[in-house]
Chains A and B, each alone.
Chain A
Amino acid sequence: MTLLAVERIKLLSTRSPWWCALAALLITAGFSTLVVSNAGGGFPATVSATQFAYTFGMAVIMVLATLAVTTEYRFGTMRTTFQAIPNRAAALLAKATVVALVALVIGEVMAFLSWGLGNLLRPEDDLALNSTADWLNVAGVGPVCALGAVIAVATGILIRHSAGAISLVLIYFLAVESLVQAIPTVGADIYEWMPFNVAHKVITGDGESAGASGEMLTPLSTSTLSPWWALAYFAGFAAVLLAVAITTARKRDA
């Protein structure tokens, strides 16, 4: 608990997390407002439509998570941390946990804010959370963001430089996975198991939250896992990456 409090003080006593949180909320709320108010002709206003922009918010949260680690390396406070807490695994695990919790909170606020705005804008449409799929589509954003943050923390520990780590995280998240599909023959099979594609499955399920038409604004995940297994798979991926990062950090000179 002490270590969690330490990381909480560290994270919240600088400004960048607050700005990132604000940016994540503004981007998702803004996009959701835009999408929901334009719903009607081409696509219906559905629960899934309100969460259209979650990936943008998640990208910002992952930047926050990466910075939480890389700025510590940049300013030498990682050394001060290891000096105060020689058990590096415990220190880094605490950091990952605190960042994940913050990401979870931002993710949930972001998701329910977008959904709430949708309800306000389109009271006549059915945006009630009636099914597990509906709930997962909104409430699932938080856990997915939290796990995405853990992946970003792990990348930050491995790369240590802000620019490098952020570009790697963002380029991978926003581009590399989709490009894998372009590989002939095996591309689609590999893509099916790519972590962020699987994470997308948690949110979208098989499209039940998109209403009767099943029409989604974003393509559905190609993962064949159930949403819960998808969440477990994504969590496993994050855990493995974090374990690799912590093992590396323990062996390395700080």
Chain B
Amino acid sequence: MHVPDGFINAPVSLAAGVVAAAGLAICLRGARRELDEKTAPLAGLVAAFVFAVQMINFPVGVGTSGHLMGGVLAAVLVGPYTGVLCVSVVLIVQALFFADGGLSALGVNIILMALVTTLAGYGTVLVVQRLLPNKRASAVPAAFVGALVSVPIAALAFVALYAVGGTADLPLAEVALAMFGVHVVIGIGEALITALTVGSVLTVRPDLVHAARRYEQELELRTAPAGS
């Protein structure tokens, strides 16, 4: 869910806005390295993809369904900086055009769903990739673990922000525990669909999976002995 107006008090919301703006500025520089002058059209289309893919509902259990957040998916596919930009743009459009998520809470939402999710998720992806064998297929389990970790960490980050700027007197330890439990379950769904999607892109266009670029090998020139 997007954080609405009035959930986090004004000073913390404003501070979060400043932090989010600084984060976006860093990502704008990084995205230019990932996509060079193609940044705007490509990131725009990937943002449209993230927006669309959030509408795919998948069945979780009896009568309930979940949907993808797409933060780690975008980071694995197009790189962490562009991924943050795409998810942030989706959040800004949702707040400004669809009134989904408060305008004053935009900084909070960008921190939680774009910055923290990508930092924790993509960081985990990189660590897992280091532990797994050095081949392309390792990107799939890495994406799984990254997405799995990102959701509960974002939830805990939300509880932390709420502890600083929350408006109700909640038993924070219990809320943190409950949020963590619920979001581990949500994280499994996110992880499954993220890993399966990365796997399906990997089979068709491996060159489009940013996290799999480290496995690319330099072409080797081998000369056959003449006259054989």
**A and B found bound together:** no
